[in-house]
Amino acid sequence: MRIAKIIGGLGVALAISASLVATASYGQVPRARAQAQAAENFTLVMLPDTQYASESWPEVFRAQMQWVDDQQSASNIRYVLHVGDVVDNSDQQYQWDNSKSAMGLPADDVPYIIGPGNHDLDSTTTRAATRYNLNYPRATFTGLPSFGGTYPSTQNDNAYHTFTAGGVDWLVVALKYAPNDSEIAWANQVVSAHPKHNAILVTHAYQNGTTKDANGTKLWTNLVSRHANFRFTFSGHYVNAGVISQQGVNGNTVHQIQADYQSLSQRDPNSYMRVMTYNPTTDTLDVKTYSPYLNRYMTDAKNQFVLNNINPVSPATGSRTEFESGTCDGTIDSNQAGFSGTGFCNTSNMVGAAAQVTVSADTSGAAKLTFGYANGGSSDRPTTVSVNGTTVGTLPFPPTAAWTNWATTTVNVNLNAGNNTIRLSATTAGGAPNLDYVDVA
Ligand code: GCU
Ligand code: CA
């Protein structure tokens, strides 16, 4: 439960659609279950610039988040995406307090992620986010099942979360206002490591209606357009609303959605937010703009529309086990970009150097193991594979041209129901390749 559940008389809860059916599971569903899960409708809520609400009209902000709580089940609301400018004046603690009274803790009800805006920063020149981190610290988010990671690793300036909804996996990357090159590089690494997740970018300033600004142009060119799994970007900052639907270099369409209703002089515009329902059966995103405080929709074409052909990426089959979760005759490293999880096993360069993980199988019988690996050397790294102590063969692990080029190789094995030990042991003096993960299918 969030605190401050009291709303003004107009804050009547209203279901978006009577046809939406609640489902039992919230939070993250293990990958293996994602496909078995019914492909249900689900809803994302986008909160545009709440800065003046935090400053002057906290009741409209509270009404928004109260509505999210009340409708969580009926509308299957799975995430709140705050596109930044949580507050107007970051040096005014009361504005942060007003925002927190509305947002509650991210683990309270519907989880949320924030892409801090220019007003949330200490200074737009330094882009320091001390006050944002004091009020929305990383530690507040790490307990979420959907929490993925942050950059820098000890701060919440930039963050990614993952969740499963509508029968597929989603990755939300939230980048602080005006991302710099190292932040964009981090985001690229995160998106690359989640090829079977549908990527969503949340960032404050990206486009003004249907025209990208300098940040949006840079983010499109250097991040969003580059990945086949990008589907949406959400931003605010400009008092406007617009959508750009555009194909990236891999041919996938990315819907880039912007809205901001902030008004310094009037309360009511600040009370609107986006309520967006994905329907897997029709493959559509139904976008509505609603004020819980006024119980009113904006129904003009810029604010109420349907996006077709979202074409989400199917979830990975089987389950993944990261080599960093096992034992490694060498070191768990993270210096070669592009790996999945938090690192990889870099075995010592010697015969017999091994990496071992435990994988789980639902049933006994034939299974395919897919190893993610990199071999930046010039020759094969032949390595024996054994399952539950029995050698099943030797895989060559041919060169991948660079230590940052990650490839896959497969082997068919038999697994027991339950836990199985997978051990890779180098047969030559070069040791094993860098070992990232094993997928079981
Ligand atoms: C380099 C590289 C390592 C790799 C090693 C090797 O040192 O940085 O990631 O494991 O080569 O040859 O095994
Ligand atoms: Ca090595």
Query: What are the backbone dihedrals phi and psi of residue 383, each rounded to the nearest 5 degrees, phi first?
Result: -145, 130
Q: Give the separation between CA 158 and CA 361, rounded to whole angstroms.
A: 35
CA distances from 91 to 21, 60, 103, 129, 358 (A): 43, 22, 19, 11, 50
Ligand 1 atom with the smallest distance to the CA of 433 is: 13
Ligand minimally distant from the alpha carbon of residue 344:
1
Ligand 1 atom with the smallest distance to the CA of 432 is: 13
Separation of CA 356 and ligand 2 centre (Å): 15
Give the environment of ion ligand 2: residues with CB less than 5 A.
346, 431
pLDDT of residue 110: 96
Residues with Cβ within 8 Å of 69's Cβ and at least 6 positions away in sequence, in order, are 1, 2, 5, 109, 110
Residue pair 347/436 in contact by the 8 Å Cβ criterion: no
Separation of CA 12 and ligand 1 centre (Å): 61
Ligand 1 atom with the smallest distance to the CA of 431 is: 13
pLDDT of residue 318: 67
pLDDT of residue 361: 77
Residue linked to tokens 């992620």: 113
pLDDT of residue 9: 33
DSSP result, 234-302: EE-SSS-EEEEEEE-TTS-EEEEEEE----SS-SGGGG-EEEEEEETTTTEEEEEEEETTTTEEE-STT
Separation of CA 380 and ligand 1 centre (Å): 13
**pLDDT of 17 higher than 80:** no
pLDDT of residue 317: 62
Q: Give the separation between CA 347 and CA 18, rounded to whole angstroms.
A: 56
Separation of CA 346 and ligand 2 centre (Å): 4
Q: State the greatest distance between any 2 C-alpha atoms of the chain, in Å, as a whole number.
A: 75
- Neighbour order of strands in the sheet with 230-235: 147-151, 158-165, 168-175, 197-203, 230-235, 253-259, 241-247
Report the pocket of ligand 1 as residue ranges, CB < 6 Å.
333, 336, 346, 349, 377, 403, 431, 434
Nearest to 187 by CA among 158, 163, 214: 158
Ligand 1 atom with the smallest distance to the CA of 349 is: 13
Q: Over the stretch 212-241, which tens digit does the pLDDT of each residue have?
A: 999 999 999 999 999 999 999 999 999 999
Residue nearest to atom 2 of ligand 1 (CA): 403
DSSP class of residue 13? Answer: -
Separation of CA 346 and ligand 1 centre (Å): 7
> Cα angle at 341 between 256 and 438, to 5 degrees?
115
What is the pTM for the complete model shown? 0.67
Q: Over the stretch 273-316, which tens digit does the pLDDT of each residue have?
A: 999 999 999 999 999 999 999 999 999 999 999 999 999 998 87
